[in-house]
Amino acid sequence: MYTSRIAGMGKYVPENIVTNDDLAGIMDTNDAWIQERTGIKERHHITKEDDNTTATMGVKAAKIALERAKISKDDIDLIVFATLSPDYYFPGCGVQVQELLDIHTCPALDVRNQCSGFIYGLSVADQFIKTGMYKNVLVIGSENHSGGLDFSTRGRSVSVIFGDGAGAAVLTRSDKEGHGILSTHLHSEGKHALELSLRGPSTEYWVPQILEENPQEDIPYFPYMNGQFVFKNAVVRFSEVIMEGLKANNLEVADIDMLIPHQANLRISQFIQKKFQLPDDKVYNNIQKYGNTTAASIPIALTEAWEEGKIKEGDMVVLAAFGSGFTWGSAVIKW
């Protein structure tokens, strides 16, 4: 049986930085509340002047990942694209990336698992490589949140949290046993689907119907989040799925060299860190700079941790995510 390893990673965020004070200028919020409740200081937002979309940011991250992996785009056997904010209702961003990278007829698969999307994508890529069906898989997580948030005071509990950006990883077949992706564990619980959701536009809330039926104060085409309920579920599921991954590999918390939690809220990461009694240098957080970039958050953080020399060959790296669906998952990687 083959194994897979991450051969290269890349990240891209739009240049435009939006601070908490910038948001306080357009809605009733303030820097102290945002930092206290989420840890976020600033995030990056696409502007009308740049050429960024979910697909094009994904391409920018992917080009860096391919270059670092030293793998040609022509050798990519599968593209997996995770996002909750695609450029089009259909088709998905995977085929756009394929066209923009000028990759011919390899399959392009879109993953709809929100904050857990990158881990789901990684798992899909890993399975295809393990079975021998594919050798090189490009996995991308990218989000354009700013294009779809409610920046009035009504939407403040959601809109201050999210940021735009993309991350990518190139997975390749490895013959080194005990290295690379050791395991992935995935879960979902559809009964909480609407606790963190964007219901329209959809076939349930199609645009003409939204305009006709919904009063301004109850617009279903802005994201809704039951924040405290999501928070409580997140801390439980993060812990469970990290332990599940460690156990499956006969590892203990002490074996973790670097934990990269999905950047949902700094308080969630700190809760997990405290629970597992991990020192500061074994948990990577960058939500302070980027906000929550959903499917892009783990690949951006993983890339940045690697760029900063915080992940070295032989390290045990654990990725964990929780989000809308609810969906959650973990990946254990021997670097």
Contact range with ligand UT7 by CB under 6 A, out of 69-77, 105-113, 167-175, 229-237: 229-237
Site string for ligand UT7, 264-293 (x = CB under 6 A): xx--x-----------------------x-
Site string for ligand UT7, 152-191 (x = CB under 6 A): ----xx--x-------------------------------
Contact range with ligand UT7 by CB under 6 A, out of 61-69, 134-142, 260-268, 311-319: 260-268
Per-residue exposure over 58-67, b if at least 16 CB sit within 10 Å of its own CB, e if not: bbbbbbbbbe
Q: Which long-range contacts (CB under 8 A, 24 or more apart) does 86-92 make?
A: 86/54, 86/55, 86/110, 87/53, 87/54, 87/55, 87/144, 89/201
Backbone phi and psi for residue 2, each to the nearest 5 degrees, phi listed first? -80, 165
Q: Quick one: tokens of 285?
A: 């957080």
Coarse DSSP helix, strand, coil percentages of the chain, rounded to the nearest 5 percent: 40, 25, 35
Closest to ligand UT7 by CB, 76 vs 149, is 149
Q: Closest separation between CB of residue 23 and ligand UT7, Å?
A: 8
Q: Is 227 in the site for ligand UT7 (CB under 6 A)?
A: yes
User: Which residues are identified as catalytic?
Assistant: 115, 262, 292
| Cβ pair 168, 61 in contact under 8 A | yes
Please report, as residue ranges, which positions from 22 to 41 form the binding site for ligand UT7 (by CB under 6 A): 29, 33-34, 37-38
Residues whose CB falls within 8 Å of the CB of residue 171, separated by 6 or more in sequence, listed in order = 4, 5, 6, 7, 122, 125, 126, 129, 136, 137, 138, 139, 181
Residues whose CB falls within 8 Å of the CB of residue 175, separated by 6 or more in sequence, listed in order = 2, 3
Q: Closest separation between CB of residue 129 and ligand UT7, Å?
A: 28
Closest to ligand UT7 by CB, 268 vs 316, is 268
Site string for ligand UT7, 106-145 (x = CB under 6 A): ---------x------------------------------
**Local structure of 168: helix, strand or coil:** strand
Please report, as residue ranges, which positions from 51 to 110 form the binding site for ligand UT7 (by CB under 6 A): none
| Cβ pair 291, 300 in contact under 8 A | no
Interface residues with ligand UT7 (CB under 6 A) are 29, 33-34, 37-38, 115, 156-157, 160, 227-228, 230-231, 234, 264-265, 268, 292, 323
